[in-house]
């Protein structure tokens, strides 16, 4: 066969493949059946979105963020309730085409945009799966919880972990086995990608796999400690119960049951490190800003009176940051020396109150004292299987370095303008 004939044959085959799958290179809505157990918090069907390509089996799975809830008012998110959860009304079929929804056509993060105007990342040419968030349980719950307040009672379906399992089953049945898999997520999605990593990685059996959990940490908090020793302990004790983490079918119960060496069921922070032991050939990374003012608020505000009752907004932020940095420093100090486990911890940027490294743009996330231009360097390092250790970088300086690239400058302008 001549080269020209071969090229034509390959072209015809590719065109036929594209024609047979009209959903390539655009968002396809998938609604999971009720028989799967999947649902949104209000009991409506769970829908997620897939953007496939015929050119590779490599796949990035993005867990959407958006708050959390363990009370009726914050789960229902009515009337401008503070520290609530997104999408209490469920996921509409046009979620990815409605600019007013959090995904913003996929532009919420460079990981879910084929052509991003601000940031490029190698996964933009991969298959993309977007796990929407509508359960208020950072994608890890498995419990129907009845909440009651002065307005009455309501059952809330904390089905995050159930949804993730059903998505895994759908992907295994409907997509090619990934040559390479990246699980990631921002905010609540950072927690969800961590909690669901083992089951999804096992269910999809990729040749290579990595985790990038952005700004959704499970901090060190032994049950026998005090809130002063472990600031995240009151929150973790609350969600263990209302989200069913320790119950039958709970995500902690299942993970420790299957992998006894993964960590201590009485300390959720150990699960952060356990993944590197379970999967020694995978690459595990955690990232967050050290001045994050959003996840820290969810973590501490309702549990520490000196924060909720602070005299000024400035005093509140300062009190939040003391607890947050304490938890970060403990996480770093406790982290084992595994070469496949690392972290990326710049100080701050103005976008979204220093919450989330990978939303909008990777710009202005550099750690200049380590010659790291931004979180994109951390992503590239995670996806490098040549034997390099996963980066461990914690910015020491609290003085903001000047912009050294157009991307940094644009990110700083977006932050100053308060667009996100």
The distance from CA 170 to its chain's CA centroid, rounded to whole angstroms, is: 20
Considering the entire predicted model, what is its pTM? 0.94
Tell me the per-residue pLDDT of 196-212, one tens digit each, with 9 for 90 and over.
999 999 999 999 999 99
In angstroms, the Cα distances linking 58 to 28, 125, 126, 184, 226 are 17, 9, 5, 14, 44
Question: What pLDDT does residue 7 have?
Answer: 41
Tokens 């406790």 locate to 334
pLDDT of 303 over the 60 cut: yes
The sign one gets for the Cα dihedral 115, 119, 122, 124 is negative
Mean of the pLDDT values across residues 318-329?
98
The domain spans of the chain are 25-417
pLDDT score recorded for residue 12? 42
Residue 118: which residues within 8 A CB-CB, separation 6 or more?
A: 110, 360, 361, 362, 363, 407, 410, 411
Q: Strand, helix or coil at 228?
A: coil
d(CA 123, CA 212): 13
The CATH code for residues 25-417 is 3.40.50.1820
Average pLDDT over residues 397-407: 89
How much is the pLDDT for 403? 87
* Residue 309 pLDDT: 96
pLDDT (mean) for 291-319:
97
* Res. 404: pLDDT tops 90: no
pLDDT at res. 364: 97
């Amino acid at each position: 066969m001549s080269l020209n004939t071969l090229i034509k044959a390959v072209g015809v085959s590719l065109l036929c493949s594209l024609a047979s799958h009209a959903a390539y290179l655009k968002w396809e809505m998938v609604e999971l059946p009720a028989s799967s157990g999947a649902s949104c918090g209000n009991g409506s069907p769970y829908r997620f979105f897939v953007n496939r390509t015929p050119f590779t089996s490599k796949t990035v799975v993005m867990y959407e963020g958006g708050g959390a809830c363990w009370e009726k008012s914050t789960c229902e998110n009515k009337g401008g309730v503070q520290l609530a959860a997104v999408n209490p009304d469920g996921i509409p079929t046009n979620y990815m085409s409605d600019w007013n929804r959090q995904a913003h056509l996929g532009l919420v993060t460079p990981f879910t945009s084929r052509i991003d105007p601000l940031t490029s990342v190698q996964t933009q040419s991969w298959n993309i799966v977007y796990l929407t968030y509508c359960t208020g349980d950072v994608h890890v719950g498995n419990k129907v919880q009845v909440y009651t307040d002065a307005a009455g009672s309501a059952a809330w379906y904390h089905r995050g972990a159930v949804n993730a399992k059903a998505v895994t089953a759908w992907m295994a049945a409907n997509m090619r086995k990934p040559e390479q898999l990246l699980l990631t997520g921002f905010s609540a999605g950072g927690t969800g990608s961590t909690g669901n990593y083992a089951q999804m990685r096992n269910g999809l059996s990729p040749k290579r796999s990595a985790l990038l959990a952005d700004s959704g940490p499970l901090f060190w908090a032994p049950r026998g400690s005090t809130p002063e020793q472990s600031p995240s302990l009151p929150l973790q004790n609350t969600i263990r119960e209302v989200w069913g983490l320790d119950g039958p079918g709970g995500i902690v119960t299942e993970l420790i049951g299957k992998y006894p060496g993964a960590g201590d069921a009485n300390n959720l922070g150990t699960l952060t490190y356990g993944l590197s032991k379970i999967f020694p050939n995978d690459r595990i990374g955690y990232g967050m800003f050290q001045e994050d003012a959003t996840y820290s608020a969810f973590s501490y505000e309702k549990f520490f009176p000196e924060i909720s009752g602070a005299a000024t907004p400035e005093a509140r932020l300062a009190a939040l940051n003391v607890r947050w940095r304490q938890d970060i420093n403990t996480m770093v100090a406790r982290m084992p020396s595994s070469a496949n486990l690392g972290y990326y911890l710049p100080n701050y940027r103005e976008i979204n109150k220093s919450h989330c490294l990978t939303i909008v743009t990777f710009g202005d996330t550099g750690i200049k004292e380590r010659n790291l231009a931004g979180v994109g360097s951390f992503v590239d390092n995670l996806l490098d299987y040549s034997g390099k250790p996963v980066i461990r970088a914690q910015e020491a300086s609290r003085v903001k370095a000047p912009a050294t690239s157009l991307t940094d400058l644009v990110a700083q302008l977006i932050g100053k303008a308060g667009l996100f």
